[in-house]
A and B are shown apart, each in its own frame.
Chain A
Amino acid sequence: MKARPKIAKTTRNLVYATAIVFGVLFVINLILQQQLNKRVEERDELIEVIKENAYVEDQVRGISKATKLYENTKASNLDISPHLNALTEVLGDTVVVNNISFDRDKNYYNVNASTNKATAYATMIGRLLESEHIESMTIELVNFKAQTHEYTADFKVNVK
């Protein structure tokens, strides 16, 4: 019996090898395609849910902005009522207040007050300087009206 020609043998092996490689690749591709479809479905579902909840992120951003604004504003502009309370408490006990003014940019109070007793000012100054809210104070001007026997003074009170 005559042996098969070499070319036929090589061709046959080549056909087998190609078919095997092709088959393996085909199966891999099918599996990959299946996986891709599954992932695409998952992705679409997740995107849908995230779209539905899109307002949540906007709301959270708004909350963060609002709380930051509140914290920054309050940190750089402390309430004036604590030191105003300390000031009016002492002034009310010792002298008669004519006017008080305050400007946040200057951070001090201008006070104009009157009394019949000069010692009332000393008491007032002593008590104000004891207060934890008062940094310092300056007597700017004192007038004495002999007719009414009244002392009127201008003070500058620096707050902490």
Chain B
Amino acid sequence: MNEKVTKQLGVYKRSLQNRKFQSNAYSILLVFTILFFDIFGLQSMIDITVRRFSTLKELNQLVVDLSYKEDSTSLLKRKLEDSQFYLSRLEEVVPLEANVEKYMVNLVQVAAKHGYRQNKLVKRDTKDNYVEMRASFQGSPNQMEPFIRSIEAQDRLLVIKSFYYSVVEDTVNLEVVIRIFYLDR
């Protein structure tokens, strides 16, 4: 009986020794795990936090810049809406296309207003943003200067490059070279 109890106690003793060893081993493992987490886990979390913070800072700045841009464009939009009348006038004066045909009609109308009849019109395209037109007219001598003035006063950006005015036996000839400008895209 005693022998049996002694044997059983020996088993318990060995088991307790094993558990103590296991307990120590687990404690050491736990300490290493925490240290490992401290070094790598927390470090990476700190990195992520710092990155997020700097991203937020940049994003804040971006939002401020975009707000400024949005305010500016909204203000411009309002101003453009208010000045629509002047914009359409500006587009007539400096059009996006040469619109030579429209200008030719206007020129004939202006000429007729001053008693001039158009004889000939030669159009020359240039590499620059203007079209050169050589137009010949016949008409009244005392209307030459008002006619030139009316050409220059047209709602169109143009320059009179040269003109030649002559009177031969009561016939007035006027040749004008006009450069009409447009907005080159």
A and B bind: yes
> Which residue numbers of A lie inside 8 Å of B, CB to CB?
7-8, 10-11, 14-15, 18, 21-22, 25-26, 28-29, 32-33, 35-36, 39-40, 42-43, 46-47, 49-50, 53, 56-57, 59-60, 62-63, 65-67, 69-70, 73-74, 77, 79-81, 84-85, 88, 92, 97-105
Contact of B49 among A29, A98, A99, A103 (CB under 8 A): A29
Contact of A70 among B49, B59, B67, B93 (CB under 8 A): B93
For this complex, 11 residue pairs linking A to B, each with C-beta atoms less than 8 Å apart, are A11-B27, A14-B31, A39-B56, A60-B76, A60-B80, A65-B183, A67-B90, A69-B157, A97-B141, A97-B167, A105-B162
Residues from chain B with Cβ under 8 Å of A36 in the complex: 52, 55-56, 59
Number of A-B contacts (CB under 8 A): 148
> Which residue numbers of B lie inside 8 Å of A, CB to CB?
27-28, 30-31, 34-35, 37-38, 41-42, 45-46, 48-49, 52-53, 55-56, 59-60, 62-63, 66-67, 69-70, 73-74, 76-77, 80, 87, 90-91, 93-94, 96, 129, 141-142, 144-145, 148-149, 152-153, 157, 159-167, 181, 183
Closest to B53 in A: A32
In the bound complex, what is the Cα–Cα distance between A64 and B53 (angstroms)?
Answer: 41
Residues from chain A with Cβ under 8 Å of B31 in the complex: 7, 10-11, 14
- Is the CB–CB distance between A56 and B80 below 8 Å? yes
- Is the CB–CB distance between B144 and A88 below 8 Å? yes
In the bound complex, what is the Cα–Cα distance between A28 and B46 (angstroms)?
Answer: 10
- Is the CB–CB distance between A101 and B164 below 8 Å? yes
Residues from chain B with Cβ under 8 Å of A84 in the complex: 145, 148-149
In the bound complex, what is the Cα–Cα distance between A59 and B78 (angstroms)?
Answer: 13
A28-B49, A35-B56, A70-B94 as given contacts; A43 in contact with B160, CB under 8 Å:
no
In the bound complex, what is the Cα–Cα distance between A110 and B153 (angstroms)?
Answer: 24
In the bound complex, what is the Cα–Cα distance between A65 and B93 (angstroms)?
Answer: 13
Closest to A76 in B: B159
Residues from chain A with Cβ under 8 Å of B141 in the complex: 97
Chain A nearest Cβ from B136, distance in angstroms: 14
- Is the CB–CB distance between B159 and A18 below 8 Å? no
- Is the CB–CB distance between A81 and B152 below 8 Å? yes
Contact of A56 among B46, B56, B73, B167 (CB under 8 A): B73
- Is the CB–CB distance between B157 and A99 below 8 Å? no
- Is the CB–CB distance between B52 and A15 below 8 Å? no
- Is the CB–CB distance between A21 and B42 below 8 Å? yes
- Is the CB–CB distance between B164 and A99 below 8 Å? yes
A53-B73, A66-B183, A104-B161 as given contacts; A7 in contact with B27, CB under 8 Å:
yes
In the bound complex, what is the Cα–Cα distance between A15 and B137 (angstroms)?
Answer: 102
